[in-house]
Chains A and B, each alone.
Chain A
């Protein structure tokens, strides 16, 4: 048993375990297929159960069980020893420190997805059918390949501050520009509420590529007969954009907006890497981690996680609906 569970640092041993795991997986799947295939006239439910069952089982163990556990935790004391009713939620909604966190999260959800989608849309329309289209698209899409933490570190350098003292050179890009223009360096990450928006820039920088790609594809998918008919009716330029393009890609627009909104609600890496939630920039996801794992307050941490969950549910429902609508249109 120990041989199976502890590979140590012997690569050969690790590979052997990996192969055993794969063989086991294949064997179990084969067994399921074999059993499902066995009866002459299997009922629909039997076949469906055979295929969906394992996935449902794993979902229940990996998602449902911990989710219920978290909800229960959120009504308990910090070490889950006794129930305290809604105390944790009351604190999350009354303590000024947490109100700031909730406010910041609202700001993130309102501003970041809207800007990322808007910039992506405008960019998609502008570069569409231009000579440099491929290159221009690749340029905006590139940041998508960078992890949130990586991007945050890059932007930390952009915002880096060095004092305005003799013999000291700026190392941050933005402050160097300011100094060249004759200004004095600014502590970008300290000035609130501007610093929260500066953090959003990182997310927008990453997500614009995503929105640009999806929106560009759905602009291409607008039937040419509609466009031509509109043109015959005398529409062009902004009118075309506003009356034809936007309504035609509305479902895609909503999907992009809500998908980015979900990413935004979960934003944790950017805040933790850039300010660790200090200087009034914390958001719910960061505070959840802080409470659960730094201050060992499992109750409050769970309450914040549940709050995040509740906020994200309507967005998900809307997102799924629009996705179905978009499919029906097609």
Chain B
């Protein structure tokens, strides 16, 4: 788990501007305190999948996009990762003293949890063979409300301290749940590829890394 600096700058809206020494110093300092504060934890479970429901459960991932994403997979893995509540506290506390550092910390923590999820998927891929990309609630028409079912399936509250609010928000804030399909063959997914924008087809996206092809 690490902070990909390029990704961090992209989250902060960087488009190649000069980075003065003060800003650079703040970024370095915040990255190191975010890394120290993070308490990474994860949990994952494999299920048979019949194209609709996770077999042996009452959980059916809703929406056409997730169904399309998992097409052809006889098994799927449901996973959840978090870097813990201390990071939420760090960001809240920083806002009282330096909004700049709080803004950087918020993005740095996002980088960390994304990287953690990638590490976990890499590990799962080594064990289960080629996987699809991660697909999370809120992507396409896969509703946020599915968070509750996912967290209940994995007992994330008692296993990794990850809760879901009534509205579907994950707490700690810097957490990810996702479903990946086990493809049963083909090419492994490049979870650790550093240039995320290159994996995405939306060339008009305002947040796109300017150097991505």
A associates with B? no
Which A residues lie at the B interface, using CB under 8 A? none
| Interface residues in chain B, defined as those with a beta carbon under 8 Å from any beta carbon in chain A | none
